[in-house]
Amino acid sequence: MNSVHPTAQIIGNVSLGSGNTIGPLAVIIGPVTIGNGNWVGTGCVIGAPPEVRSWAHPADALAPGSGNGIHIGNNNVIREYAQIHQGWHDQTRIGNDVFVMNQSYIAHDCTLEDGATLASSVLLAGHVRIGAGANLGLGTCVHQRRYVGAGAMIGMGSVVTRNVPPFAKAYGNPAKVASANRVGMERAGIPVPTITAVESAYGTTLNEALEDLDGLEGFEEALAAWRIHAQS
């Protein structure tokens, strides 16, 4: 049902669905729930304690139960030496069809929604949320409690210190919205008039842009999620 390399370590309360591949030297420390059809590469560490100074780290670094858990959905790819830490206040959560490239770091209480992509060496601080279908370029760093909206694209080497709205293109240090992700909107089936309006709005200041996008067909769900999570 699952292919687990003999050198991998699965410790404590770890639930595996079916069709998962766990590579050499991977370490998974419960509580962790993993769905179906996931691919975990060499040397990944999933389930280490949250990196919080005040956290009571166990005497045994591989002791299970040190954290509030990790939930990983279905059909995700987690490449070599990526790290996903236990939740601190809540669970750390990975949705479905997420692609996490090598040496990426996902801290405690992060959420990656369905279809998100992290390129190599992306660093997410605690409580970060990455929206569905968002794409973070090589070496991007995201400050704690930031929200990258659905379908957004972040340029390589960017430092995200502010929330990024849905289907925006942003880059730089600090990252700033430069334009709209037209290709992403087309792939998401968003109507052309809405795409045109988003492109125009992202040429203005952010608050004005969001006001102008209310009620646009195909954009309502992403904008509603933005308003919920960007203010939380």
In a domain, 16, yes or no: yes
Domain with 99, as residue range(s), is: 3-181
| CB of 137 closer than 8 Å to CB of 114 | no
Residue 126 forms part of a structural domain: yes
Residue 229 is assigned to a structural domain of this protein: no
Helices and strands of the chain, counted as H and E runs:
4, 25
Place of tokens 């236990």: 86
Q: Tokens 């975990």 — which residue? A: 40
What's phi and psi for 147, nearest 5 deg? -125, 120
**What pLDDT, in 10s, does the model give residues 141-168?**
999 999 999 999 999 999 999 999 999 9
Report d(CA 228, CA 188) in Å as an integer: 21
Answer whether residue 231 is part of any domain.
Answer: no
Instruction: List the one residue out of 28, 4, 32 whose CA is nearest residue 18.
Output: 4
CB 57 within 8 A of CB 79: no
Q: How many domains does the chain have?
A: 1
Query: How would you label 8-33 residue by residue, b for 16+ Cβ within 10 Å and e otherwise?
Result: bebbeebebbeebebbebbbbbbbbb
Give residues with Cβ within 8 angstroms of 128, minimum separation 6: 107, 110, 111, 142, 143, 144, 145, 146, 147, 148
CATH number at residue 162: 2.160.10.10
pLDDT digits (tens, 9 = 90+) for 83-98: 999 999 999 999 999 9
Q: For the segment 43-100, what is each residue's pLDDT rounded down to a tens digit? A: 999 999 999 999 988 888 778 888 999 999 999 999 999 999 999 999 999 999 999 9
Q: Answer yes or no: is pLDDT of 209 > 80.
A: no
The answer to the question of residue 95 being in a domain is yes
Which helix (H) or strand (E) covers residue 194, if one does? helix 192-201
Q: In angstroms, rounded to a whole number, what is the distance separating the alpha carbons of residues 59 and 84?
A: 20
Is 41 inside any structural domain? yes
In angstroms, the CA 219 to CA 133 distance is: 14
Mean pLDDT to the nearest integer, 29-42:
98
Task: Write down the mean pLDDT value for the chain.
Answer: 93
Q: Which residue has the tokens 């842009």?
A: 209
Element of type H or E holding 11 = strand 9-11
